[in-house]
A and B are shown apart, each in its own frame.
Chain A
Amino acid sequence: GAVVSQHPSWVICKSGTSVKIECRSLDFQATTMFWYRQFPKQSLMLMATSNEGSKATYEQGVEKDKFLINHASLTLSTLTVTSAHPEDSSFYICSAPRTVSTEAFFGQGTRLTVV
């Protein structure tokens, strides 16, 4: 069964509104979670690393004020897309490794469509 759960699976929102995406580790504690973005027919691109108890680390070119990340607990990280625009429409995926030296498990992904 799934060890990382992401919610919602899909969301449609109006331009200018904000959308929150949740990522939960179900049977383990994750001090680190990763947020990726995937455009159609492309690979996953790391957006940011979510760290429990400290600020997220953003990749170059990713606006931290637009993509707010909060690692509220050892089992939950949230990504909020603020003031969404159509160009933010994409597939957002989170992942979490059980430990720092093991494989990462992925959530189901969230398809965001901004109209």
Chain B
Amino acid sequence: GQQLNQSPQSMFIQEGEDVSMNCTSSSIFNTWLWYKQDPGEGPVLLIALYKAGELTSNGRLTAQFGITRKDSFLNISASIPSDVGIYFCAGQLEYGQNFVFGPGTRLSVLP
């Protein structure tokens, strides 16, 4: 099946630092989503991207739909302790199909 790769797998940063992570695929997607999952909870949608090149912000989070439609990036500015969690990207090949999830990036924020 389709696979998404996320990088890095995990990261430890100091509070206040900026964070960048990405998601890549060998396939072209028409939709990219970014989710955050806290332990024991379901994923919560952060940002949805629908067009190549689209740059969308949600507070301190900014995500971009790669121009090739095979990748997406998520940036978090001025990280805070509650940013800790697993960040998943998800891509949709065609409308109406399920979303394929990446393996996740585990973020730890050190005080």
Contacts and interface: CB of A to CB of B under 8 A. Distances in A.
Interface of A: 6, 32, 34, 36, 42-46, 49, 91, 93, 95, 100-109, 111
Nearest to B99: A104
B42 A106 contact: yes
Interface string B84-104: 000010100001101111111
Contacts, number: 49
19 contacts: A34-B98, A34-B99, A36-B101, A43-B101, A43-B102, A44-B43, A49-B98, A91-B40, A100-B96, A101-B95, A101-B96, A103-B31, A103-B48, A105-B45, A106-B35, A106-B42, A107-B42, A108-B42, A109-B42
Contacts of B100: 46
Interface in B2-49: 31, 33, 35, 40-45, 48
Interface string B46-75: 001000000000000000000000000000
Interface residues of B, number: 21
